[in-house]
Structure 1
Amino acid sequence: MSNYTKEEIVKSVPQKGFFGHPKGLFTLFFTEFWERFSYYGMRAILIFYMYYEVSQGGLGLDKGTAASIMAIYGSLVYMSGIIGGWIADRLLGSTSTVFYGGILIMFGHIALSLPGSLTAFFISMVLIVIGTGLLKPNVSNVVGDLYSPEDTRRDSGFSIFYMGINMGGFLAPLIVGTVGQEYNFHYGFAIAAIGMFFGLITFMVSKKNSLGLAGRNVPNPLTKAERSVTIRRFIIGIIVIVILFAVTIPTGILTINGLTYVVSFLGLSIPTAYFIVMYKSKKTTADERSRILAYIPLFIAAMVFWALQEQGAIILAQYADQSTNLDYAGLDIQSSWFQSLNPLFIIFLAPVFAWMWLRLGKKQPSTPKKFALGIIFAGLSFLLMVIPAVASGDNLSSPLWLVFSFLIIVLGELLLSPVGLSATTKLAPAAFASQTMSVWFLTNAGGQALNAQIVKLYSADTEAVYFGVLGAVAVLLGIILMFIAPKIQKLMKGIH
């Protein structure tokens, strides 16, 4: 199997063609646009589908259970990126893995669009979890392949790519949310499936003339003997998992609450194990080991950020549905529409940040300082929500509080998320390139694994304390990270 150098890959990609960036950015921009349309469209109505009564077209679960399922589902979506990274690094390469992931996502949304039992609901979730794990980390890794490590367009390119993600995320709640809440949840899920289909078509039609060799490498391929062992272990693992679920679920041993603890443990233990394996590997150089040590505090900071940001689709979604005035200024607002605020702000602000990083060049803040500012803004967005939680009392609060809360956390997201994607491609050990991108997405998995426990503490009676404590903790951690940023930068060994 061919293994190309970084120089060969970059030379094979047309370097001009999409807003001054490599032509392949167009392909990846619109592939991720449609994948995110399908994912965020489904997610915008998922929690309502779970806790709305059966007579309203929902599953009739209690709100606490629905919140926990949202958290563990989100965690598993990003945790499954480990599988996608491993398959890309050792079997298929990133480009092929992206395609197969898209197919599984599409079938998962098709299954969700068909009325069925709670069992059918969980089957569709499994398909989407695995499919997203195959696609999500690898499409970002292909973006990294478009640029040389020294190319100053990298952060700008990832910001533009991130804008494409959020264009899909902006439109999806407005379309899928309206159809799902006004007419039928399953119609909304069907639209999400159609979105993923468009993404697959975009990818297959345009990749030949725009991506070149990007995503074609299999940096650490399995030997013939390793393939046999891997297949055998995979089959045994599937059998064990099926038996465990078949025994523990009907007997009541494994409950939703119990599953949250399992996912929370995995969300923290899996990245820890990955860092140990990469650090101790003989294929990791001395400089790469130092960069892994630099990456650990960035990982923790990102995990804290995502723990707050992802509550926008859980706790703030419930707040929008139950505690917010949805008949405002003559508008009949759907509670799912608030999920469009985050991507809407990113669409307008991402070009500003991309321009700013290009303008500043080497004078821009270091990656650790950008991360510190990111989680400080996340904390401030939660501290803001203390005001309506205290002032509104038993009355419905103005939707503007949610609007400003989402705006503040977006500022943090643009400081941290696209920069984190770029930093990961630069700090990754060569032998673990795709898998390190999967580790980056474990920051989201870890954050949502924490959420599986944290969201249990939320209720209408604890709103002010809930928002205040989480916001204050995030701000404090951001300040600490700002102080240790120079030491982290030194460990990065020349990577900025």
Structure 2
Amino acid sequence: MTLSEATPELDPATIEKAAHDRAFLGHPKGLGYLAFVGGCERFSYYSMQTLLVLYMVKFLLLPEHIGTVWGLEWLQGGWYGGKQGQPLASAVFGDYTSLVYLTPIAGGYIADRFLGRRTTLILGALVMALGHFLMAFQPTFLLALICLVIGVGLFKGNIASQVGELYAAEDSRRAMAFQIFYIAINVSVIGAPLISGTLGEKVGWHWGFGTAGVVMVAGLLLYLKAGPWLPADNAPVRGAARERPGLEPGDGARLLAVVLLVPALAVALITNNQIFNAYLVWADEKFALTFFGHTLPTSWMITIDAALSFAMLVCVAAFWKWRAARTGTEPDELGKMIIGSLFSIAGGLCLVIAAATAGGGKIGLFWPVLFHLLNSIGFSNMLPVSLALFTRLAPRAMNATVLGVYYLAFFAANKMVGEIGGWYSDMDTVQFWLLHVGTAAIGLVAFAGFRLFAAPRLLAHA
């Protein structure tokens, strides 16, 4: 669905059929298909996330290869201001990963107004697969990135909405359905570095990108097969009008709060999002990844992070549930975001210590793994509840629009990650990671200030 309009009416026939369908773990069969298709898409996306910077730094942007990429030298001298090597790789990464949080807004609009959800999703899967296969050829690198940005935009917003439409509003299975859906996604995030990352680093870069394309095609074929078990399409009906609720007293202040929270959240996310950029370059250069004569792929650090993130999401949710049952209280959304920022600061300090104590030798994995653990706890206390906070602040008339505004924080964060990551080559490593600790501290101060001065009045009736 588009981020600027309300959810369409659920199809009664689909709801009636799904109410009696318990073929997949007690849920409709369509959920199983959507979970696997979503997992395939995330596998392909995180394969790119894992390999992109390493591929550019270690191969594509070397002097003997960069001239083979159509348009890259022209773009390097113009948009990227003459950047070379790792700073150029970081900037390209930042543009790519930021744009994938803008294009889903257009993808939802296209689905609602022109093509319908299914056609838009299928088109997105085809364009994404094309992008992955174009990564197998050096000249088409930039064209591949453009295809991937467009494909994610067409695909991303048009699959999760179908999960909810499998269930009636009063169906108690709905919440568990989304948990199952996101479990499949997290499994894919863990698996992508192990499979595509290993193939890319150990066999050949294009093998890793090609694997992502094959998995994307498999996801598309599964989606086509799933047609009879999916919700009815939301193809637009010409001339149909929708009633839209108006703004209410106090909505203007809540909208202002949302706008102010976007840059605060974006800055707080920088350390976490840098994991896919300069952090991987640092790990490839400095981490002690050789054990018993075998050197592990650097991309496996992403698997460690993804596994810890998944585990900490479960543990943090269980902890707050246990605390609420024992004491009858738990922190509000901003309280948890403040706690998350403290853990992010602690995680960043682990990287500072690792860089400061390494000297000229290799860095053991104790401090990096501790960073991933602490950062994952911070992530688990920040991301899910920040989305809940934004939807709570959102006026009823603009709930879906505020969701689009929320993802602008990720756009801004990744753009800043691309710019800051480019400083890694010329900046002292200790200072580089201290800078990231500072960004987490800015987020902490912003969240604390908002909770102290604005939240009591704005959230009182939200």
TM-score range, shorter chain: 0.7 to 0.9
Counterpart mapping for 1:284-299 below 5 A: 284-286=246-248, 289=252, 291-299=254-262
Query: Which amino acid in the other structure matches residue 366 of structure 1?
Result: D
Equivalent of residue 288 in structure 2, options 314, 325, 350: 325
Partner of 1:131: 151
Partner of 1:491: 458
TM-score by length of 1: 0.74
Q: Which runs of 5+ in 2 are unaligned?
A: 1-5, 67-83
TM-superposition CA deviations, 1:108-148 (whole Å, max 9, x none): 111112x232xx10001000001111222333444455678
Query: Which amino acid in the other structure matches residue 38 of structure 1?
Result: S
Distance (whole Å) between structure 2 residues aligned to residue 33 and residue 57 of structure 1: 37
Give the direction of change, closer, same or farther, for the CA distance of 1:285–1:358 in structure 2 (3 Å limit).
farther
Query: Which amino acid in the other structure matches residue 383 of structure 2?
Result: S
Partner of 2:381: 415
1:386 and 2:352 aligned:
yes
Partner of 1:116: 138
Q: Which runs of 5+ in 1 are unaligned?
A: 225-281
Distance (whole Å) between structure 2 residues aligned to residue 354 and residue 147 of structure 1: 24
Partner of 2:46: 40
Superposition deviation, residue 370 in structure 1: 3.0
1:481 and 2:447 aligned:
yes
Partner of 2:231: 212
Distance (whole Å) between structure 2 residues aligned to residue 130 and residue 391 of structure 1: 43
1:165 and 2:127 aligned:
no
Partner of 1:245: none
Superposition deviation, residue 424 in structure 1: 5.6
Query: Which amino acid in the other structure matches residue 248 of structure 2?
Result: A
Partner of 2:80: none
Please say which of residues 403-412 and 30-39 is displaced more in the overlay.
403-412
Distance (whole Å) between structure 1 residues aligned to residue 313 and residue 63 of structure 2: 37
Distance (whole Å) between structure 2 residues aligned to residue 24 and residue 197 of structure 1: 19
TM-superposition CA deviations, 1:13-52 (whole Å, max 9, x none): 5498566777655343322211111111122121122122
Three-state SS of the structure 1 residue aligned to 2:422 is helix
Whichever structure has more helix as a proportion of its residues is: 1
Superposition deviation, residue 380 in structure 1: 2.4
Query: Which amino acid in the other structure matches residue 286 of structure 1?
Result: E
Distance (whole Å) between structure 1 residues aligned to residue 369 and residue 89 of structure 2: 24
Percent identity reads 27
Give the direction of change, closer, same or farther, for the CA distance of 1:19–1:147 in structure 2 (3 Å limit).
same
Superposition deviation, residue 90 in structure 1: 3.2
TM-superposition CA deviations, 1:403-462 (whole Å, max 9, x none): 221222222222233444556666666776665444333221110112232123223751
Equivalent of residue 91 in structure 1, options 114, 118, 141: 114
1:465 and 2:428 aligned:
no
TM-superposition CA deviations, 1:161-202 (whole Å, max 9, x none): 433222111111111111111121111111000111122233
Query: Which amino acid in the other structure matches residue 46 of structure 1?
Result: L
Distance (whole Å) between structure 2 residues aligned to residue 446 and residue 20 of structure 1: 40
Superposition deviation, residue 363 in structure 1: 4.8
Q: How many residues align?
A: 431
Partner of 2:123: 100
TM-superposition CA deviations, 1:70-126 (whole Å, max 9, x none): 11111112222221232244334545433322221111111112x232xx1000100
Counterpart mapping for 1:263-282 below 5 A: none
Partner of 1:65: 88
2:277 and 2:418 in contact (8 A); partners too: no
Distance (whole Å) between structure 1 residues aligned to residue 334 and residue 297 of structure 2: 38
Distance (whole Å) between structure 2 residues aligned to residue 149 and residue 416 of structure 1: 28
Equivalent of residue 101 in structure 2, options 69, 78, 82: 78
Partner of 1:234: none
Equivalent of residue 315 in structure 2, options 352, 370, 373: 352
Partner of 1:264: none
Root-mean-square deviation (Å)? 3.9
Please say which of residues 17-26 and 452-461 is displaced more in the overlay.
17-26
Partner of 1:275: none
1:284 and 1:429 in contact (8 A); partners too: no
TM-score by length of 2: 0.79
TM-superposition CA deviations, 1:214-259 (whole Å, max 9, x none): x7386xx8869xxxxxxxxxxxxxxxxxxxxxxxxxxxxxxxxxxx
Superposition deviation, residue 482 in structure 1: 3.6
